[in-house]
């Protein structure tokens, strides 16, 4: 049976059912099994790990940083660390949750130290700002082009959610209503999409899209 709708447009209903089925299957897996899938670059598994431990990770980060944006930053970087290093996880050494929270703690402490350094650094003279401004304009144009290229490489649903949120000004709740998707699905799309962008762009992604 064809999965094309009216006008030859491919219907997404079957794909949505398939993703929903995948989420239900992941929910029954152990934490170790989810990490094994992440090691194989399964972004649905990364979203499942975030559903299980995202709130706990944020709570730990916030207790250390006492700042919402920085806490989100620490959590985002920790999950990105999981994405990159899941293949090196060893179950005999620790539980997945312990490993993840260790990454969160380390990143949060790093951010505390970074903020302390910023507060003690002397201000630059105005002449230095004037010289840097001209160079920044050219660099900004290059960054924008790099970000556009990275966005094009995302799956269409992740790209759509991120572009509507950051360029269209929609909240996640508004996106869920606009796209006809559960709020949790929108959050997962944005989380996995931003993780990929940060993996590709590094600090450019943080400057453009914020901490989380």
Looking at the chain, the whole-number percentage of residues with pLDDT higher than 70 is 75
| pLDDT value of residue 116 | 83
Between CA 184 and CA 182 the distance in angstroms is 5
Give the Å distances, CA to CA, from 126 to 120, 123, 129, 130, 133.
Answer: 18, 9, 5, 6, 11
Between CA 181 and CA 196 the distance in angstroms is 21
| pLDDT value of residue 126 | 53
* Residue ranges of domains in the chain: 11-119, 143-212
More confident residue, 47 or 143: 47
Q: Which residue has the tokens 């572009």?
A: 163
Q: Do domains 11-119 and 143-212 have the same CATH topology?
A: no
| pLDDT tier, 106 (very low <50, low <70, confident <90, very high otherwise) | very high
pLDDT in tens, 65-94: 999 988 998 999 999 999 999 999 988 888
Averaged pLDDT of the chain: 78
Fold entry, domain 11-119:
Rna Polymerase Sigma Factor; Chain: A (1.10.1740)
Q: Is the pLDDT of residue 178 over 90?
A: no
Q: Which long-range contacts (CB under 8 A, 24 or more apart) does 80-83 make?
A: 80/195, 80/198, 80/199, 81/107, 82/35, 82/38, 82/46, 82/49, 83/38, 83/46, 83/195, 83/199
Rounded to an integer, the average pLDDT of 166-192 is 83
The listed CATH number (1.10.8.80, 1.10.10.10, 3.40.50.1110, 1.10.390.10) that belongs to domain 143-212: 1.10.10.10
């Amino acid at each position: 049976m064809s999965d094309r709708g009216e006008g030859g447009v491919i219907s997404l209903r079957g794909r949505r059912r398939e993703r929903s089925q995948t989420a239900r299957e992941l929910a029954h897996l152990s934490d170790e099994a989810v990490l094994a899938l992440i090691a194989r670059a399964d972004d649905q598994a990364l979203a499942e790990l975030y559903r299980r431990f995202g709130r706990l990770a944020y709570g730990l980060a916030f207790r250390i940083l006492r700042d919402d944006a920085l806490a989100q930053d620490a959590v985002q970087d920790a999950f990105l660390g999981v994405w990159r290093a899941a293949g090196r996880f060893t179950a005999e050494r620790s539980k997945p949750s312990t490993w993840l929270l260790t990454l969160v703690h380390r990143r949060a402490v790093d951010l505390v130290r970074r903020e302390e350094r910023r507060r003690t650094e002397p201000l630059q003279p105005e002449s230095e700002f004037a010289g840097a401004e001209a160079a920044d304009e050219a660099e900004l144009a290059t960054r924008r082009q790099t970000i556009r290229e990275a966005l094009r490489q995302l799956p269409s649903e992740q790209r759509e959610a991120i572009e509507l949120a950051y360029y269209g000004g929609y909240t996640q709740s508004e996106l869920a209503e606009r796209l006809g998707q559960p709020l949790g699905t929108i959050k997962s799309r944005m989380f996995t999409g931003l993780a990929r962008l940060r993996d590709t762009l590094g600090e450019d992604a943080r400057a453009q899209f914020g901490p989380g």
